[in-house]
Amino acid sequence: MICPDCLSENTKVELVQKQQLKKGRSIWYWLTGYFIINWMMWFLFTPFKIVMRLIKGPNYKIKTREQKRLICNDCGYMGRIR
C-alpha cells in the first residue's frame, strides 16, 4: 500500500482490536420504571436473587472492535483503512 502523506511504499498494515466495557443500566431501564419493580423484587425475593447473582455472574458486556491501520515506516503516518 502507498502512504497518502509521503507516497512511500514502505508501509505495513496492522490489525488493532479495541475493547470497550459496557457496565450498568441503559436509559430504557430508567425510563420504563423497571428500577421500581427491581427494588420491590429485591425486598420480596432477596435470598433467591442473591443465589441467582452468584450463579449468573457479573452484569457487564465487553464489545470488541477490529480496525485495520496503515503505518508508514518512513514518515510515521498512521491512518485507518476502510
Please state the rounded mean pLDDT for residues 53-78.
84
Please state the rounded mean pLDDT for residues 53-60.
74
pLDDT at 28 over 80: no
Total number of residues shown for the chain: 82
Instruction: For 5-19, give the DSSP string.
Output: TT--S-EEEEEEEEE
**Is the pTM of the predicted complex or chain greater than 0.85?**
no
The class that CATH gives domain 1-23+62-82 is mainly beta
**Containing H/E element for 78?**
strand 78-81
